Amino acid sequence: MNRERGGQGREAGTALAHLHAVILAGGRGTRFWPLSTGRRPKQLLRILGQRTMIQETADRLTPLVPSERRWVVTGTEHAVEVARQLPSLRSAQLLVEPEGRNTAPAIGLAARYIAARDPEAIMVVLPADHVIRDPAAFQRALAAGAQAAALHPVLITLGVPPTRAETGYGYIERGARAAEFEGQVLYEVAGFREKPDSDTAARYFAGGNHAWNAGVFLFRAGIIEEEIAAHLPELARELRDPDLMLPGDRGARALAEVYRRVPSISIDYGVLERSKRTWVLPVDCGWNDVGSWSALGEVRVPDSEGNVVVGEATVLDSRNVLVHAAEGPLVALLGVEDLVVVSTRDAVLVCPRARAQEVRKLVEELERRGRQDLI
Amino acid sequence: MNRERGGQGREAGTALAHLHAVILAGGRGTRFWPLSTGRRPKQLLRILGQRTMIQETADRLTPLVPSERRWVVTGTEHAVEVARQLPSLRSAQLLVEPEGRNTAPAIGLAARYIAARDPEAIMVVLPADHVIRDPAAFQRALAAGAQAAALHPVLITLGVPPTRAETGYGYIERGARAAEFEGQVLYEVAGFREKPDSDTAARYFAGGNHAWNAGVFLFRAGIIEEEIAAHLPELARELRDPDLMLPGDRGARALAEVYRRVPSISIDYGVLERSKRTWVLPVDCGWNDVGSWSALGEVRVPDSEGNVVVGEATVLDSRNVLVHAAEGPLVALLGVEDLVVVSTRDAVLVCPRARAQEVRKLVEELERRGRQDLI
């Protein structure tokens, strides 16, 4: 540890010069219907305000990762819109998956391309559709994590201190203290725990030894490739296909071939949970995965009546309502409570805040009715 | 009475041949916002389904009053739309008021034009924006009322048997039995009572001697002119202006002059309540004045969950909701109760059914914000 802290200045600069960001933008998601649809998933929407979620994700990498070291993995159907929303991204940095195969193939593919560009590359992998209310704290964590990844052959996961006994997230159990960079302490991972039952979640929350898995990872490109080779050898073999690096259509055809064969599996389940060299970097940065419309009430400051409005609304004599009317007709509320109301040009959603998680039921019902145009 | 019943067949034919309908379509109204606006008041809207309320009002006159004996009184700003919605109406039958002056001038003006066309004319005056669920019963009442008006120099008001102790309507107290035509009994009016307090309304409802004033009147054109002359002499004098009968612009200019001077007063307050020769014709015809969005639940048959949908909606796990989405985005509801939800291209309304009467508060708020484009 002394060595690390002593050499900090020069090593930090070296690590950061090799830091590449990989934004995972493959999500489809119906939980933000009617704003999100198959054509426009959550990460491409202005759910919170002026910028889309992928734009906010890219914005908060500045100045840590300049745009020439940012990569985006997305699907065919969203590539054009991603490029439009991130105009400084060069086309070579947009990795277009022919079909969704969960996070392990996406990260493996990015590692292959990035390692070809920079053999010393450190990758920070991050979802395109989360909110971070304290970007400075987030950047300090990334800087520390990049240095740790430069010096140690480990897979680092950002861990968010729980603020409630949430049963919907994955938890990381903290083990022995492993390292410290710029005041940020990293720990060995004692275990990953997927979505616990409520008693277990309450215990994790009370114990203080568990963190939420925010889906943000740091590692050297070469290390994640080694770990994929160890735990997902089939995927590693496919990703070694030399044709993948061909330019233009030939590379795209090779990728389509590879993706027909690779398993659909998450990096958490496929690699992290099986790896022996995982660290966790706890960071309190106001993280929110914005999992449903009810998150509007967590990531925006409500008015004195508890109401949150994105877009234009007239709200009279109402309390604790969440309104999104930025892309549809004005919303006018009188005398209602605890509702989510979302308007778009095509559809209007009204449901209780407590049931915002169930919005997919409406999407399923519309699908049954053959209203694919709306979903 | 014997004489009337004996001569029924021939006299009925004579009376009906002179029956003219006057549809009052001057209303503005904000109670159906956001569907109704200054530009498109309630009577010009498809609040209940495929036809607008003025179209349904005209439809239910068929075959009793053919289109050449139908007249519509409306305002300058709505004349073009009325003509569009009632294409069989000739322009001479569209009486365009330069400004709204309540019902007495509108009816007096119509009487003047109709009497000039047919000195024996009998007028049935009816609002353009009410619902009648039993048009056959309504037509039987009109036929009987027309015969009564042909034979008696009286002002007849249709009286609707109350179905609740409503405080928002005017009531007519029934006096002595006056006549009977085709099984329909008419009574002298013992008194008109405007919007009673709730105790009085409860008494009226329990007593069975009071009827709601539906705003539908029957009288000879000459008789209403006599009564206007007796009780509103100033209005009668203005309406005698010979220039009113000039064709084209000259007639319109005379009307504008006259309307600058006539009092703004209702036929109920200005004439009926003061007249000594008023009859009431009770008729149970499923009348509803559709006073606010909550009326959707009265004039349409709800589904098994108590929900009423006009237009397209997806309603899951919800009860007693009233939805109007015929002119705006699809409405999707999950887990809500007792709400009114209305979508248009410009605005979405959400409020409890019990507060639908207060929608004007939202309109006032939008007015304060300078959003005249929406109201």
Q: Say whether both B176 and B222 belong to one domain.
A: yes
Domain finish residue from A227, A262, A288: A288
Beta strands B131-132; B155-160: pairing state = unpaired
Q: What string of H, E and C letters represents the secondary structure of A211-258?
A: EEEEEEEEEEHHHHHHHHHHHCHHHHHHHCCHHHHCCHHHHHHHHHHH
CB contact under 8 A, A350 and B350: yes
**Chain B contact for A183, CB < 8 A?**
no
- Is the peptide bond preceding residue B247 cis, with omega within 30 degrees of 0? no
Q: Say whether both A344 and A216 belong to one domain.
A: no
- Is the peptide bond preceding residue A63 cis, with omega within 30 degrees of 0? yes
pTM of structure: 0.88
Q: Say whether both A66 and A181 belong to one domain.
A: yes
* Mutation choice for A interface testing from B348, B351, B362, B371 by most A CBs within 10 A: B348
- Classify residue B248 as left (phi > 0), alpha (psi -120 to 50) or beta: left
DSSP string, B253-270: HHHHHHHHHS----HIII
Q: Say whether both B182 and B317 belong to one domain.
A: no
* Cβ count near B104 (within 10 Å): 24
* Cβ count near A220 (within 10 Å): 26
Backbone angles phi, psi at A137, to 5 degrees: -65, -40
Collect all residues of chain A within an 8 Å Cβ-Cβ radius of residue B359: 334
The CA distance from B339 to B351, in Å, is: 6
Q: What is the pLDDT of residues B78-99, one digit of tens each?
A: 999 999 999 999 999 999 999 9
Collect all residues of chain B within an 8 Å Cβ-Cβ radius of residue A316: 361-362, 365
Interface size, chain A vs chain B, as Cβ–Cβ contacts under 8 Å: 116
Q: What is the pLDDT of residues A64-120, one digit of tens each?
A: 999 999 999 999 999 999 999 999 999 999 999 999 999 999 999 999 999 999 999
**pLDDT at residue B9 above 70?**
no
Pair A171, A204: CB distance under 8 Å: yes
Listed range (A2-6, A17-21, B117-121) with the worst mean pLDDT: A2-6
**pLDDT at residue B181 above 90?**
yes
CB contact under 8 A, A350 and B328: no
Collect all residues of chain A within an 8 Å Cβ-Cβ radius of residue B325: 348
Residues B320, A339, A291, CA angle at the centre, nearest 5°?
125
**Chain B contact for A364, CB < 8 A?**
no
Q: Say whether both B157 and B40 belong to one domain.
A: yes
pLDDT at A213: 97
Name the residue with tokens 């499923």. Answer: B286
Domain finish residue from B288, B308, B340: B288
Sign for the pseudo-dihedral over CA of B126, B128, B129, B130: positive
Mean pLDDT in residue range B162-173? 95
Q: Say whether both A259 and A319 belong to one domain.
A: no
Backbone angles phi, psi at A157, to 5 degrees: -115, 135
Q: What is the pLDDT of residues A104-158, one digit of tens each?
A: 999 999 999 999 999 999 999 999 999 999 999 999 999 999 999 999 999 999 9
Collect all residues of chain A within an 8 Å Cβ-Cβ radius of residue B334: 349-352, 355, 358-359, 361-362
- Classify residue A293 as left (phi > 0), alpha (psi -120 to 50) or beta: alpha
- Into how many domains does chain A fold? 2
Measure CB to CB from residue B314 to each of A332, A343, A362 and give the nearest one.
A362
Domain that residue A360 falls in: 293-374
- Is the peptide bond preceding residue A282 cis, with omega within 30 degrees of 0? no
pLDDT band at B12 (very low <50, low <70, confident <90, very high): confident
Computed over every residue of chain B, the mean pLDDT equals: 94
Backbone angles phi, psi at B161, to 5 degrees: -60, 125
**Chain A contact for B334, CB < 8 A?**
yes
> Which of helix, strand or coil describes residue A143?
helix
**Chain A contact for B361, CB < 8 A?**
yes
The CA distance from B156 to B169, in Å, is: 18
Backbone angles phi, psi at A334, to 5 degrees: -135, 120
Question: Residue B52 sits in a domain of what CATH number?
Answer: 3.90.550.10
Q: Which residues lie below 8 Å from residue B29, measured CB to CB, with a gap of 6+? A: B36, B41, B42, B129
Q: Say whether both B95 and B160 belong to one domain.
A: yes
pLDDT band at B8 (very low <50, low <70, confident <90, very high): low
The CA distance from B251 to B265, in Å, is: 23
Q: What is the pLDDT of residues A159-185, one digit of tens each?
A: 999 999 999 999 999 999 999 999 999
Q: What is the pLDDT of residues B292-346, one digit of tens each?
A: 999 999 999 999 999 999 999 999 999 999 999 999 999 999 999 999 999 999 9
The CA distance from B120 to B99, in Å, is: 29
Helix (H) / strand (E) element for A12: namely helix A8-17
Q: How far A292 CA sits from the closest chain B CA (Å)? A: 14
**Chain B contact for A344, CB < 8 A?**
yes
Name the residue with tokens 């209403």. Answer: B224
Listed range (A317-331, B37-51, B252-266) with the worst mean pLDDT: B37-51
**Chain A contact for B372, CB < 8 A?**
no
Q: How far B301 CA sits from the closest chain A CA (Å)? A: 23
* Cβ count near A370 (within 10 Å): 7
Nearest to B116 by CA among B257, B229, B248, B244: B244
Q: Say whether both A222 and A300 belong to one domain.
A: no
Q: Say whether both A359 and A283 belong to one domain.
A: no
Q: Say whether both A220 and A359 belong to one domain.
A: no
The CA distance from A335 to A306, in Å, is: 13
> Which of helix, strand or coil describes residue A9?
helix
Q: What is the pLDDT of residues A191-206, one digit of tens each?
A: 999 999 999 999 999 9
Q: Say whether both A156 and A269 belong to one domain.
A: yes
Name which residue leads in pLDDT, B9 or B159.
B159
Q: Which residues lie below 8 Å from residue A283, measured CB to CB, with a gap of 6+? A: A137, A138, A140, A141, A158, A159, A160, A184
* Mutation choice for B interface testing from A30, A33, A314, A338 by most B CBs within 10 A: A314
Q: Say whether both B123 and B34 belong to one domain.
A: yes
pLDDT band at A48 (very low <50, low <70, confident <90, very high): confident
Nearest to B117 by CA among B16, B222, B267, B229: B222
The CA distance from A128 to A82, in Å, is: 11
% chain B with pLDDT above 90: 90
**pLDDT at residue B28 above 90?**
no
pLDDT at A1: 42
Residues A130, A133, A138, CA angle at the centre, nearest 5°?
80
**Chain A contact for B309, CB < 8 A?**
no
Q: What is the pLDDT of residues A248-297, one digit of tens each?
A: 899 999 999 999 999 999 999 999 999 999 999 999 999 999 999 999 99
**Chain B contact for A369, CB < 8 A?**
yes
Pair A152, A188: CB distance under 8 Å: no
> Which of helix, strand or coil describes residue A58?
helix
Nearest to A98 by CA among A254, A268, A263: A254
Side chain identity, residue A10: R
Mean pLDDT in residue range B263-291? 96
Domain finish residue from B272, B288, B304: B288
| Crossing angle between the packed helical segments B8-17 and B135-151, to the nearest 10 degrees | 100
CB contact under 8 A, B348 and A329: yes
**pLDDT at residue B3 above 60?**
no
